[in-house]
Structures are given as C-alpha cells and as structure tokens.
A and B are shown apart, each in its own frame.
Chain A
Amino acid sequence: AQSVTQPDIHITVSEGASLELRCNYSYGATPYLFWYVQSPGQGLQLLLKYFSGDTLVQGIKGFEAEFKRSQSSFNLRKPSVHWSDAAEYFCAVGLQTGANNLFFGTGTRLTVIP
C-alpha cells in the first residue's frame, strides 16, 4: 500500500536560517509528488510538484524540492526562511496509474522565531 512519511512533526527555525522538511514515500513506481502549505484555519496551497524530468523542482515563495529515487524522498528546502513561512506543510503522493486521489503525510508544523 502507498504511504507517505513526514518524520518531523514540528520544526523550529530562526528567521533567515535555511530549512529542510523531509518526506519519504512508499510506492512501487515513480509517483507524482507534491508539497502543499496550510496556514492556520486555511485551505491548502500548492507549493510545487514533480511529475517527471528534472529532479530539482522550483516552487512558489522561494521553495524547492528534490526527488531522489534511490531514497524514495522528496524533501522541501528553502535557503532563508521568513516569518510568514510559519505554517503546516504537507507532502502528498499521487499515482501515475489507477486511483486519482492523493495520499498525504501527517504534516510538519514550522515555527519561525525572530
């Protein structure tokens, strides 16, 4: 069965510091990969996605993510965090064949301190 693991429940970083959020998936083939961000009381906003091709993808708000097939990972990075980046981040997996639904990780809550 497909699964998505976000091992860090809560991360705290200082404003201006770099950030890396981890995501690992379990699936027999290369899936579609997504990162979404959710601000408190809000819906999910798509940050970036990977379907195929270049394994380093650029997203909005200065975020990027790298797909590493050998590690079944799709970690999200940002070189310099801003206070407005404080939110919940979700990694999601979609299948290239079959079901159209997304499988979500349990999320990583990011706190940014001044």
Chain B
Amino acid sequence: NAGVMQNPRHLVRRRGQEARLRCSPMKGHSHVYWYRQLPEEGLKFMVYLQKENIIDESGMPKERFSAEFPKEGPSILRIQQVVRGDSAAYFCASSPPVGAGTDTQYFGPGTRLTVL
C-alpha cells in the first residue's frame, strides 16, 4: 500500500514564476492537508480539503496561494508569482474518511521549493 506521494521532491523557481505542487493521498483516504515548514521551524497548517471541497483554508496566505482536490487526480497546491519568502518545504498529509481513524494524518516526503 503506497504511502502519500508528493511530486516533485525538489522544485526551483525564479521570482515571479508559478509553483505547482502535487499530492496523491494514500489509497482510501479522502482528506488532504497541506503544511509549510520554514527552515528551523515546525510545520504550519495551510489548508484542509476533501474531494472537490475546501474545508478549512485558515492557514493559507490571502494572495497568490490556492489549493484544489479534484474528483479525479491529485491535490494541487499552487503558488503564483513566487517570492523568496515562499522558499520552504511543503508537506501533504492524508487521512481516512470520517469514522475510520480520521484523526491520524499520514505525511508525504514533502516538496522542497527554492525561489531564486
């Protein structure tokens, strides 16, 4: 049973470009979470999605950041017009549907974004 998959593992962008990060949850999981880890810091929650719905985006910056989890395919975290301060590791986690141990989140290996 494959774990949470994220790609790319490393992404380099120049200021002003777009970054697109992908996350495929574990098989059978329908909840996806995105977290950001700045250097020397813990993870900070960004957004929580279920299929075709954003449930909680209270941790997302108001501008340039968006997330989706379509009916088919991976969840996408998009960062438009990246700036150097966006350089971080972005982790995706997934959990099972409600009533099936939904409170345990399983993390992917992360995407390390570097903005030049």
Q: Specify the main secondary structure of chain B where it touches its partner.
A: strand
Instruction: Say yes or no for B25: interface residue by CB 8 A criterion.
Output: no
Which residues of chain B from 66 to 107 have any CB-CB distance to chain A below 8 Å in the complex? 91, 93, 95, 102-107
User: Given the complex, which residues of A lie within 8 Å of B31, measured CB to CB?
Assistant: 100
Q: Given A101-B59, A104-B44, A49 and B104 touching (CB < 8 A)?
A: yes
Bound form: Cα–Cα A69–B54 in Å: 34
Q: In the complex, how many residues of chain B place their beta carbon closer than 8 angstroms to a beta carbon of chain A?
A: 29
With known contacts A43-B108, A43-B110, A46-B104, A100–B56 Cβ distance under 8 A: yes
Report which of A41, A43, A94, A101 forms a contact with B91, defined as CB distance below 8 A: A43
Question: Is the C-beta of A102 less than 8 angstroms from some C-beta in chain B?
Answer: yes
User: Interface readout for A57-100 with B: 1 if CB under 8 Å, 0 if not?
Assistant: 00000000000000000000000000000000010101000011
On whether the beta carbons of B42 and A107 are closer than 8 Å, the reply is yes
